[in-house]
Amino acid sequence: MSANDHTTAHEEDHSGPIKTPQQLLAAIFFSFVVPIFAIIALVYYVTSDKRPPAGAVNVEKAVAQRIQKIGMVEIRDANRPLKAGAEVYAVQCAACHTAGVANAPKLGDAASWGPRIRTGYEALLTSALKGKGAMAAQGGGDFEDAEIGRAVVHMANSAGAKFAEPQRAAAVAAAPDSAAPAAGPSPDVMTAVAAANKTAAAPAAAPTTVAGAVPALYTQACAACHIAGVANAPKLADKAAWAPRVALGVDALTASVIKGKGAMPPRGGSTGSDADIKAVVQYMVSTVK
């Protein structure tokens, strides 16, 4: 063995396993990454012991669902400040008037609103409170008549009207007497709702949570589209249209309404609670069983 060979072998005996910059970078990388993943795995393992096993029943949630209220009595503060027209519009009207669903005049469309503005504020308020065409009656819902009036003024003024924003007394004076006979929602809407009520009242068909009554939220937010089948919404009591949806189950349908689907905005454009929306879904499903 030559002196050079001996020197090379001696150097190799004293050199480490890292011989290139790439090997050095890899060693540094794994020295940091591996411990981090190990820590994450350890934390997950410790915290997972506190989670309920897959498929376990949440007792508290199940009990809450069983004892949830079917109806409620709401006491409103007559002295609370009225909601602004823009706020009421966003909650109650935007679902149809933003996209022009079912020929609803779009917000800010002067051409569509012109003929309506010429009929005057009182006529527009009456149509909003009692319903017209595919639009269900807005009176008696989540907002006072004066607040619905403010939403009407907000939409009309956005298209060039100069209506003054109503106060409580002004809106009550403008709206016709609720006891006087007047045209309600269109005959098609009333006929379909009556037929659905009759179906829901059948002992073998209607779920106990529906109790044969049409939920108020359905009339306020859902009937406008589901009576006429607007934007491919399944019509009330249409078994063929509802069949694939019923197969999904009430919970899945309720989740779709809450999140919104297709042309339907989240919660159908309403402020209804999850329980209210589920009751509406159960009601509509009951009409096709």
pLDDT in tens, 198-254: 444 443 333 333 345 788 888 777 877 887 777 788 888 888 888 888 888 989 889
CA dihedral (125, 130, 133, 136) positive or negative: positive
Residue 174 has pLDDT above 70, yes or no: no
Nearest to 197 by CA among 225, 231, 223, 178: 223
Taking residues 104-119, report their average pLDDT.
91
Name the fold adopted by 85-174: Cytochrome Bc1 Complex; Chain D, domain 2 (1.10.760)
Q: How open is the CA angle 80-81-86, to the nearest 5 degrees?
A: 135
Residue 61 has pLDDT above 80, yes or no: no
- As a whole number of angstroms, the distance between CA 84 and CA 179 comes to 27
* 37 contacts: CB under 8 Å, gap ≥ 6: none
Instruction: Annotate 69-90 with b (16+ C-beta within 10 A) or e (fewer).
Output: eeeeeeeeeeeeebbebeebbb
Taking residues 68-78, report their average pLDDT.
59
Residue 4 has pLDDT above 70, yes or no: no
* 220 contacts: CB under 8 Å, gap ≥ 6: 92, 136, 137, 138, 141, 142, 270
pLDDT in tens, 240-258: 888 888 888 989 889 988 8
Burial bucket for residue 260 (CB in 10 Å: 0-12, 13-18, 19+): middle
pLDDT in tens, 176-201: 444 444 444 445 544 554 554 444 44
Confidence grade of residue 94 (pLDDT, cut at 50, 70, 90): confident
User: Which residues are paired to 264 by β-bridges?
Assistant: 261
Q: Are the folds of 85-174 and 187-286 the same?
A: yes
Say what the alpha-carbon torsion angle 245, 251, 255, 258 is, to the nearest 10 degrees. 100
Residue 208 phi/psi, 5-degree rounding, is: -65, -25
Domain ranges of the chain: 85-174, 187-286
CATH top class, domain 187-286? mainly alpha
Give the N- to C-terminal CA distance of the chain in Å, as an integer: 97
pLDDT in tens, 257-276: 888 887 788 887 778 889 98
